[in-house]
Amino acid sequence: MLFSGNSINTRTDKNVCATENSIRAIQQQKPNLVLLDMKLNDGNGLDVLRAFPNHDNEFAHIVLSGYAEFMPEAWEFAPKGYVIKPFDDDKLRTAITFAINKIKLLAVAQVGADGTGVEEYIEVRRKIYTIENEFLMVKADKQVTRFQPRKEILYCSSGRDNTVFHLGSDSRFVAPEHLGVWEKVLAHFDFVRIHRSFLLNLAFFRAIVHDDKDGLVVLTNGIKIRLSRTYKPILQKSLDQYYSKNGGLSGN
């Protein structure tokens, strides 16, 4: 595993806990880019990412693996590349270049408490969306699509280097950019992160169902989406604020 900024080599012998060392190194060095090997001597690279619930807003990562079976689960963590071993320099260089673009976006997205950085962030994001009152215009596939997010978008899920808007009648719209970008954009329309892979439109919230894992959120149309224990307090706070503003009780 390599980190941008200060390069660190975490290749270790069999007696060293690679997962724990990698987590500690990320916490201490705060890298912009992580090249993440899936096969570690005491687990896999996903164990490292699980230690950072908000990793998508903290650093970009590229998955390196000789094991294709890791791919489906790895994509849930929104990597900026998945490079299968053995790989050549061109493939790795392409993946890193793609990740660097995300790093630039993350840099300008760090808005200060005093509002500094907002204009820079909006200017960068203007390439893919604009907000006009209750409407969201999204640029994708050489055309602009207009939404009323509060009424039309039930929830969003993370795709491969993109985000899926789940609309009514089982229809979908694939929007460019990762879920972390849309989390910031759609907060304007009362959307909240409830899982590393999901954003929820609070207008369509009905209930929380507890199961043997973290939990599920039930939408008004009966659809259930995964709720992470990490994000449950955030959801509850957001619901309290939403119902306080719009009337009603969350009942949870």
Residues of the chain within CATH 2.40.50.1020 domain(s) are 126-246
Tokens of 127: 């390439």
The CA distances from residue 97 to 10, 45, 80, 137, in Å, are 22, 21, 10, 28
Q: Distance between CA atoms of 229 and 244, rounded to whole angstroms?
A: 23
Closest CA to 231 of 189, 197, 182: 197
Q: 147 pLDDT band (50/70/90 cuts)?
A: very high
Q: Distance between CA atoms of 134 and 117, rounded to whole angstroms?
A: 24
Residues of the chain within CATH 3.40.50.2300 domain(s) are 2-109
Looking at per-residue pLDDT, the higher value among 102 and 188 belongs to 188
User: Is pLDDT above 80 for 127?
Assistant: no
Residue range 2-109, CATH number: 3.40.50.2300
- Which of 8-12, 77-81, 109-113, 159-163 ranks highest by mean pLDDT? 159-163
Judge contact between 217 and 208, C-beta under 8 A: yes
Looking at per-residue pLDDT, the higher value among 44 and 27 belongs to 27
Cβ partners under 8 Å of residue 201, min gap 6? 149, 150, 153, 154, 155, 186, 189, 190, 191
Tokens of 178: 């990762």
Whole-number pLDDT of residue 155: 98
- Helices 118-125, 89-109: inter-axial angle, 10-degree rounding: 130
Q: Distance between CA atoms of 178 and 160, rounded to whole angstroms?
A: 8
Cβ partners under 8 Å of residue 179, min gap 6? 56, 78, 156, 157, 158, 163, 193, 196, 197, 199
Looking at per-residue pLDDT, the higher value among 213 and 44 belongs to 44
Tokens of 32: 């912009």
Please state which of the ranges 9-13, 18-22, 108-112, 117-121 shows the lowest mean pLDDT: 9-13
Whole-number pLDDT of residue 33: 85
Rg (CA), the chain: 19
Closest CA to 44 of 2, 101, 1, 92: 1
The CATH H-level superfamily of 126-246 is: LytTr DNA-binding domain (2.40.50.1020)
pTM, to two decimals: 0.56
- Averaged pLDDT of the chain: 79
Looking at per-residue pLDDT, the higher value among 104 and 186 belongs to 186
Tokens of 56: 């998508």
DSSP 100: H
Mean pLDDT calculated for residue range 171-195? 90
Looking at per-residue pLDDT, the higher value among 219 and 98 belongs to 219
The pLDDT > 70 percentage for the chain reads: 78
Mean pLDDT calculated for residue range 164-190? 89
User: Is pLDDT above 90 for 123?
Assistant: no
Q: Distance between CA atoms of 159 and 155, rounded to whole angstroms?
A: 13
